[in-house]
């Protein structure tokens, strides 16, 4: 039996189940559910590796009449990333909510979000993508307002508006494509599409919609409050995973569908916005007063890196395009693990001291070494320093920029890494100040600390095992193999 | 896998694993931590000795795996690598013993020794790196693992020093990475090759991409020069002196500063190839920077009253000898530069150990307070004196051997001005070291020293006293027995022969 439908159906069932049962049971169901999901993901990975890209027709109705799902190396990688990071966050969340109570709505929303994200990674037509976008947006907004305070409600509302606006723009683009070509399937559209005003308009609308959802500067305004003021497990889910879904979709559309019709200037423009995001996000993180806001601004900056790959994959040089594509995806992966770890660690530190001011972190190094380790290791990945996954990703992006002779991106990549170092070490520095022994500390369960540390370690270990995800990524890749 | 593959990996792992285990130890597990520290250091030393024996008998130790298609992580034992890895393994053992004594009873020792081990692991990685990418890998790891040691005390001054250190070294690292990627793009490989990978592969490039290659060369040198303390990139070094004494000792003798100098040697000989570099006309500017640094460091050292700061500027000056030797075209200069890598390490670590002893035992930090200390701490000050003589270059110390080869190298390369620099710099060395030696032995004490604690037989804790005595004996041995089969000089000659006679 194919693993593909289960990836969507199982979390949906669990979402419904968790909404009905008691809180205590929801945590136990979550545990069993995660084991099941990881097993299904493992099945999917082995299928994709053995048999190449997979297609699955829902209810045996083939496209264009029915809905078709499609899994290649890239989608399998994103699904696996979601499962592993999700498991780490869930371990943390179980103890987090045990402390805090009211996890009633967390588990159903999280399962719903997971189902929607898996569907987005598997979608093979532009309308299904729209549906998944809406579902992701709604589940995410629901998670943000779980914090139930005025700040979170305001942030949730802004997020909701941004999400709806994004979906709307995307849907308009879909309507134009359908009107012009009479099909919604990605593969059919790719075959029929040609440079035309309607194509450019659809591309622009769909891209802007997805860029709002991925919070690319200057469309990022909704992200910092939403990510910074939610409950910690939610912040981690949003920053590590949710923004990756819209990034993934944009990458899909650009490489699989619009391909040759994209103007170089459009790609350069996205790259410029990415560079601006790096600068703006880093400066905001340097000025932030609250620890979790610093991490949220860091997300704005780090997302900027992901968009640097667009000008490089539209370069004429295939080798440069391949490396940018590999580097970008690897960066998304490394950032996912690192950012989840960073938020979880930051949340634990804030909770332990009962104080979220970055200048009040004295004693963290002595009393919460695991959390600080997790934070710093995650920071190392974000800085792109070896041996982390961020380093390998940066290496590939740099190689691509050199090969396609776009030296300005080299400067952005290197300067961005240094700016990241400044704000990460701002926290580390503050944590190294010794505290008076009398400073009171709320105890943090070890499971929460280790969840953060393990995710951070994976983000670092990715640097030494990068050939594994890259091999998977080559299954059904839009570019030729690396000519080496 | 065979031993020839395992050996480099185990050498790296002997401190890496130790470090990770130590992090996990609770603060109060003192004896277990000590056992792990010393055990790890001993295992590493034994592995290195085994590899030394093997390399001497023409075996090769190599470990590699693919980081990316076409990009390898590679550890390898060539003669230059062995020179550096032996130095770091031997000095790690000494410094560990010293640090255990020095930090007795102070807080946060698990964190300290954990990062201490990571720092040494990075150094070993740098020594054994078989290509520029692996080098960059460990070079950045070194930056990160040293930061917690520099800011260990958590004082405002230490934290500010830490920031400055990071700003310089991470900036240098970024430059290094850019240059490495660029070069890799041109050649398709950046493996360290005897005679230079650029010289071997890139002969056609020398016509078409001459400017690019020169740019890459100086980017690499600047990236390494930050850690090596080449003027004007040296500013962080004296300020980083706030670190505890064992850290300063390690930083100045093996880890950070030496990693930079070692990188420069690798770039000139194994990346570009010394003949190719001479052909690009990049060696003379490099020699000029090194010569200027040698004089500038000495002049600044002269003006420092704080002992550790004086030693820091002395490091700036002494490490540039290594760079100077590297930039002198010809085997004699090469030998002088490479052998000073070891000699400077042995002498400088002795000086830092002694400075730490005086500070720790008597609370003295300034040169002007040190009159008559020789009577209270004769062993420590004897070691200090001998190491200072070495720094000045008096025969038969190790420093003399270095300066002999550097001077001969300068004449052979027709760069007589370098000889003049060497002489002036030696005079300056004498001018800032001899007054200390004089004050310590011949001036009367101005205050009453505290007496050795009851129950100790020595002038200070034996764990503080033994390491400088061992290192000063090693440095004397390196000078007196320079002709012996296992002396640093022999290995440096081996390296020079490999580079020039192929």
Angle between helices B3-24 and B109-128 (to 10 degrees): 160
Please provide the size of chain A in residues: 484
If we measure between CA atoms, which residue out of A281, A312, A291, A303 comes closest to residue A401? A312
Q: What is the pLDDT of residues B166-208, one digit of tens each?
A: 999 999 999 999 999 999 999 888 999 888 888 877 677 777 7
Distance between CA B41 and CA B28 in Å, rounded?
21
Looking at every residue in chain B, the average pLDDT score rounds to 91
Q: Which residues in chain A have their CB less than 8 angstroms from residue B182's CB?
A: 402
Cα distance from B81 to chain A (closest Cα, Å)?
21
Cα distance from A234 to chain B (closest Cα, Å)?
29
Type and span of the H or E element at B64: strand B62-68
Say yes or no for a CB contact (<8 Å) between A421 and B170: yes
> Are β-strands B71-76 and B62-68 bridged in parallel, bridged antiparallel, or unpaired?
antiparallel
Which pLDDT does position A483 carry in this prediction?
37
SS3 at position B467: helix
Distance between CA B371 and CA B444 in Å, rounded?
6
Distance between CA A384 and CA A399 in Å, rounded?
14
Answer yes or no: are the C-beta atoms of B131 and B191 closer than 8 Å.
Answer: yes
- The answer, for A435 touching chain B at a CB cutoff of 8 Å, is no
Q: Which residues in chain A have their CB less than 8 angstroms from residue B71's CB?
A: 395
Distance between CA A96 and CA A80 in Å, rounded?
24
- The answer, for A451 touching chain B at a CB cutoff of 8 Å, is no
Distance between CA A290 and CA A287 in Å, rounded?
9
- Please report where in the chains the tokens 């990549």 appear, as a residue: A413
Say yes or no for a CB contact (<8 Å) between A429 and B177: no
Two structure tokens written together for A179: 């009107």
Q: What is the DSSP letter of A55?
A: E
Please provide the size of chain B in residues: 502
Two structure tokens written together for A164: 């709806």
Answer yes or no: are the C-beta atoms of A117 and A81 closer than 8 Å.
Answer: no
- Please report where in the chains the tokens 């795996």 appear, as a residue: B65
Q: Where are the beta strands (DSSP E) in B27-113?
A: 62-68, 71-76
A271 beta partners: none
Q: Which residues in chain A have their CB less than 8 angstroms from residue B170's CB?
A: 383, 417-418, 421
Distance between CA A433 and CA A359 in Å, rounded?
10
- Please report where in the chains the tokens 């690499």 appear, as a residue: B220
Q: Which residues in chain A have their CB less than 8 angstroms from residue B178's CB?
A: 398, 410, 414
Residue A291: CA count within 13 A, CB half-sphere? 29
Distance between CA B39 and CA B34 in Å, rounded?
8
- The answer, for B73 touching chain A at a CB cutoff of 8 Å, is yes
Cα distance from A386 to chain B (closest Cα, Å)?
5
Cα distance from A131 to chain B (closest Cα, Å)?
37
* Alpha helices (H) along B229-330: 236-239, 245-253, 256-266, 274-279, 283-302, 307-327
DSSP A362-402: TTHHHH-HHHHHHHHHHHHHHHT-TTSHHHHHHHHHHHHHH
If we measure between CA atoms, which residue out of B1, B114, B105 comes closest to residue B62? B1
Q: What is the DSSP letter of A256?
A: I
φ, ψ for residue A54 (rounded to 5)? -115, 145
End-to-end CA distance of chain B: give it in Å, rounded.
30
Answer yes or no: are the C-beta atoms of A133 and A167 closer than 8 Å.
Answer: yes
Number of H helices, E strands in chain A: 21, 2
- The answer, for B427 touching chain A at a CB cutoff of 8 Å, is no
Answer yes or no: are the C-beta atoms of B72 and B65 closer than 8 Å.
Answer: yes
Q: What is the pLDDT of residues B322-373, one digit of tens each?
A: 999 999 988 999 999 999 999 999 999 999 999 999 998 888 899 988 888 9
Determine which of B25, B63, B67 to mutate to test the interface with A (most A C-beta atoms within 10 Å).
Answer: B67
Say yes or no for a CB contact (<8 Å) between A366 and B107: yes
Say yes or no for a CB contact (<8 Å) between A432 and B181: no
Say yes or no for a CB contact (<8 Å) between A366 and B108: yes
SS3 at position B381: helix
Say yes or no for a CB contact (<8 Å) between B148 and A432: yes
Our CA angle for B197, B198, B200, nearest 5°, is 65
Say yes or no for a CB contact (<8 Å) between A467 and B108: no
φ, ψ for residue B70 (rounded to 5)? 85, -5
Residue A11: CA count within 13 A, CB half-sphere? 29
Q: What is the DSSP letter of B367?
A: G
Which pLDDT does position A315 carry in this prediction?
67
Cα distance from A474 to chain B (closest Cα, Å)?
12
- Cα dist from A447 to A95, A104, A429, whole Å: 7, 21, 25
Q: Which residues in chain B have their CB less than 8 angstroms from residue A323's CB?
A: none
Sign of the four-CA dihedral A445, A447, A452, A453? positive
Cα distance from B377 to chain A (closest Cα, Å)?
34
Say yes or no for a CB contact (<8 Å) between B159 and A432: yes
Cα distance from B221 to chain A (closest Cα, Å)?
18
Cα distance from B69 to chain A (closest Cα, Å)?
7
Q: Chain A: residue nearest B170 by CA? A: A418
Q: How would you class B188 by CB atoms within 10 Å of its CB: exposed for 0-12, middle for 13-18, buried for 19 or more?
A: exposed
Full 3-state SS string of B199-247: HHHCCCHHHHCHHHHHHHHHHHHHHHHHHHCCCCCCCHHHHHHHCCHHH
Answer yes or no: are the C-beta atoms of A103 and A239 closer than 8 Å.
Answer: no
Q: Chain B: residue nearest A433 by CA? A: B154
Q: What is the DSSP letter of A125?
A: B
Closest residue to A433, CB basis, from B70, B154, B188? B154
Which pLDDT does position A2 carry in this prediction?
83
Type and span of the H or E element at B457: none
Closest residue to B68, CB basis, from A373, A386, A467? A467
Closest residue to B159, CB basis, from A373, A421, A429? A429
- Verify cis geometry, omega within 30 degrees of 0, for the bond prior to B299: no
Say yes or no for a CB contact (<8 Å) between B177 and A398: yes
Answer yes or no: are the C-beta atoms of A107 and A139 closer than 8 Å.
Answer: no
φ, ψ for residue B67 (rounded to 5)? -80, -40
Cα distance from B4 to chain A (closest Cα, Å)?
21
Say yes or no for a CB contact (<8 Å) between A396 and B181: no
- The answer, for A28 touching chain B at a CB cutoff of 8 Å, is no
Cα distance from A189 to chain B (closest Cα, Å)?
34
Q: Chain A: residue nearest B182 by CA? A: A402
Q: Which residues in chain A have their CB less than 8 angstroms from residue B138's CB?
A: 386
Q: What is the DSSP letter of B430?
A: H
Type and span of the H or E element at B401: helix B398-412
* Alpha helices (H) along A52-149: 73-100, 106-122, 126-144
> pLDDT tens, position by position, for chain A (484 residues)?
688 999 999 999 999 999 898 878 888 899 999 999 999 999 999 999 999 899 898 877 776 677 889 999 999 999 999 999 999 999 999 999 887 766 678 999 999 999 999 999 999 999 999 999 999 999 999 999 998 889 999 999 999 999 999 999 999 999 999 999 988 988 888 888 888 888 889 999 999 999 999 999 889 999 999 999 999 999 999 999 999 999 999 999 988 887 767 777 888 999 999 999 999 999 999 999 999 999 999 999 999 999 999 998 876 678 888 899 999 999 999 999 999 999 999 999 999 999 999 999 998 988 999 999 999 999 999 999 999 999 999 999 999 999 888 889 999 999 999 999 999 999 999 999 998 888 888 989 999 999 999 999 999 999 999 999 999 999 888 765 443 3
Residue A163: count other Cβ atoms within 10 Å of its Cβ. Answer: 24
φ, ψ for residue A125 (rounded to 5)? -140, 155
Q: How would you class B364 by CB atoms within 10 Å of its CB: exposed for 0-12, middle for 13-18, buried for 19 or more?
A: buried
Q: Which residues in chain B have their CB less than 8 angstroms from residue A418's CB?
A: 170-171, 174
Which pLDDT does position A450 carry in this prediction?
95
Q: What is the pLDDT of residues B9-45, one digit of tens each?
A: 999 999 999 999 998 888 888 889 999 999 999 999 9
Distance between CA B466 and CA B97 in Å, rounded?
9
Cα distance from A206 to chain B (closest Cα, Å)?
34
The stretches in chain B having pLDDT less than 50 are none
Which pLDDT does position B454 carry in this prediction?
60
Say yes or no for a CB contact (<8 Å) between B73 and A464: yes
SS3 at position B65: strand
Determine which of B144, B159, B179 to mutate to test the interface with A (most A C-beta atoms within 10 Å).
Answer: B144
Distance between CA B54 and CA B379 in Å, rounded?
37
Q: Which residues in chain A have their CB less than 8 angstroms from residue B188's CB?
A: 484
Q: Chain A: residue nearest B141 by CA? A: A386
Answer yes or no: are the C-beta atoms of A215 and A298 closer than 8 Å.
Answer: no
Q: What is the DSSP letter of A185?
A: B
Q: How many CB pairs under 8 A join A and B?
A: 89
> Are β-strands A54-57 and A68-71 bridged in parallel, bridged antiparallel, or unpaired?
antiparallel
């Amino acid at each position: 039996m194919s693993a593909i439908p289960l990836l969507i159906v199982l979390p949906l069932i669990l979402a419904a189940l968790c909404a009905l049962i008691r809180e205590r049971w929801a945590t136990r169901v979550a545990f069993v559910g995660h084991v099941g999901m990881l097993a299904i993901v493992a099945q999917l990975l082995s299928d994709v590796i053995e048999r190449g890209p997979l297609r699955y027709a829902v209810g045996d109705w083939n496209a264009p009449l029915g809905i078709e799902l499609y899994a290649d190396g890239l989608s399998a990688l994103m699904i696996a990333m979601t499962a592993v990071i999700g498991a780490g966050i869930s371990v943390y969340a179980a103890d987090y909510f045990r402390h805090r109570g009211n996890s009633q709505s967390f588990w159903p929303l999280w399962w719903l979000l997971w189902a929607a994200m898996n569907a987005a990674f598997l979608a093979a037509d532009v309308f299904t993508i729209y549906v998944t976008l809406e579902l992701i947006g709604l589940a995410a907004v629901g998670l943000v307002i779980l914090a139930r305070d005025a700040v979170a409600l305001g942030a949730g509302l802004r997020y909701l508006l941004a999400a709806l606006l994004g979906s709307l723009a995307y849907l308009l683009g879909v309507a134009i494509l359908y009107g012009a070509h009479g099909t919604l399937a990605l593969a059919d559209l790719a075959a029929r599409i040609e440079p035309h005003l309607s194509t450019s308009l659809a591309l622009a609308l769909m891209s802007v919609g997805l860029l709002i959802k991925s919070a690319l500067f200057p469309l990022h305004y909704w992200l910092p409050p939403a990510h910074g003021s939610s409950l910690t497990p939610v912040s981690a889910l949003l920053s590590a995973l949710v923004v990756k879904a819209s990034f993934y979709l944009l990458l899909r559309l650009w490489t699989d569908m619009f391909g040759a019709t994209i103007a170089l200037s459009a790609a350069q423009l996205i790259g410029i916005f990415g560079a601006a995001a790096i600068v703006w996000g880093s400066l905001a993180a340097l000025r932030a007063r609250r620890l979790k806001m610093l991490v949220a601004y860091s997300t704005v900056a780090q997302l900027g890196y992901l968009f640097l790959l667009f000008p490089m994959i539209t370069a004429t040089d295939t080798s440069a395009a391949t490396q940018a594509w590999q580097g970008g995806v690897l960066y998304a992966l490394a950032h996912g693990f690192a950012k989840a770890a960073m938020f979880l660690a930051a949340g634990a530190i804030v909770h332990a001291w009962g104080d979220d001011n970055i200048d009040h972190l004295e004693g963290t190094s002595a009393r919460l070494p695991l959390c600080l380790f997790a934070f710093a290791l995650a920071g190392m990945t974000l800085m792109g320093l070896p041996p982390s996954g961020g380093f390998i990703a940066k290496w590939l992006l740099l190689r691509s920029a050199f090969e396609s002779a776009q030296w300005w991106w080299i400067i952005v990549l290197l300067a961005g890494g240094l700016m990241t170092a400044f704000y990460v070490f701002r926290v580390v520095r503050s944590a190294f100040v010794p505290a008076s022994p009398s400073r009171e500390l709320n105890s943090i369960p070890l499971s929460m600390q280790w969840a953060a540390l393990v995710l951070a370690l994976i983000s670092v270990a990715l640097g030494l095992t990068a050939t594994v995800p890259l091999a998977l990524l080559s299954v059904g890749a839009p570019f030729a193999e690396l000519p080496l | 896998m065979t031993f020839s593959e395992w050996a480099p990996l185990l050498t790296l792992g002997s401190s890496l694993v130790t470090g990770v285990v130590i992090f996990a130890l609770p603060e109060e597990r003192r004896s277990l931590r000590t056992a792990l520290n010393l055990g790890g250091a001993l295992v590493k030393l034994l592995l290195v000795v085994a590899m030394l024996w093997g390399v001497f008998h023409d075996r090769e130790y190599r470990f590699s795996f693919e980081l990316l298609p076409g990009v390898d992580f590679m550890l390898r034992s060539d003669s230059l690598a062995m020179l550096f890895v032996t130095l770091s393994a031997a000095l790690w053992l000494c410094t560990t013993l010293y640090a255990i004594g020095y930090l007795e009873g102070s807080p946060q020792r698990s964190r300290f020794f954990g990062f201490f081990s990571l720092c040494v692991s990075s150094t070993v990685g740098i020594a054994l790196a078989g290509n520029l990418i692996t080098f960059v890998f460990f070079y950045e790891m070194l930056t990160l693992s040293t930061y917690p040691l520099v800011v260990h005390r958590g004082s405002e001054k230490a934290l500010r020093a830490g920031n400055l250190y990071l700003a310089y070294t991470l900036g240098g690292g970024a430059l290094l990475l850019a240059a490495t990627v660029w070069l890799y793009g041109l050649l398709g490989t950046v493996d360290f090759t005897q005679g230079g990978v650029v010289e071997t592969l890139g002969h056609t490039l020398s016509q078409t991409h001459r400017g690019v290659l020169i740019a890459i060369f100086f980017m690499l040198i600047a990236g390494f020069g930050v850690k090596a303390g080449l003027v004007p990139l040296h500013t962080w070094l004296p300020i980083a002196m706030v670190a505890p004494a064992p850290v300063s000792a390690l930083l100045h003798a093996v880890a950070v500063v030496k990693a930079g100098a070692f990188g420069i040697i690798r770039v000139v000989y194994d990346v570009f190839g010394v003949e190719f570099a001479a052909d690009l006309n990049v060696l003379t500017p490099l020699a000029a920077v090194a010569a200027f640094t040698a004089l500038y460091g000495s002049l600044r050292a002269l003006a420092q009253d704080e002992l550790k700061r004086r030693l820091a500027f002395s490091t700036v000056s002494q490490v540039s000898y290594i760079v100077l030797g590297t930039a002198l075209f010809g085997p004699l200069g090469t030998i002088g530069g490479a052998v000073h890598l070891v000699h400077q390490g042995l002498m400088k670590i002795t000086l830092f150990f002694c400075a730490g002893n005086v500070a720790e035992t008597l609370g003295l930090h300034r040169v002007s307070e040190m009159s008559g200390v020789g009577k209270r701490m004769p062993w420590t000050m004897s070691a200090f004196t001998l190491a200072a003589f070495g720094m000045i270059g008096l025969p038969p110390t190790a420093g003399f051997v270095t300066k002999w080869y550097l001077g001969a190298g300068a004449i052979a390369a027709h760069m007589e001005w370098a000889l003049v620099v060497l002489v002036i710099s030696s005079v300056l060395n004498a001018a800032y070291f001899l007054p200390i030696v004089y004050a310590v032995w011949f001036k009367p004490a101005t205050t009453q020293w505290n007496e050795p604690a009851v129950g100790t037989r020595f002038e200070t804790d034996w764990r503080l006293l033994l390491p400088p005595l061992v290192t000063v004996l090693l440095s004397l041995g390196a000078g007196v027995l320079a002709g012996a089969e296992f002396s640093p000089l022999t290995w440096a000659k081996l390296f020079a022969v490999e580079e020039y006679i192929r």
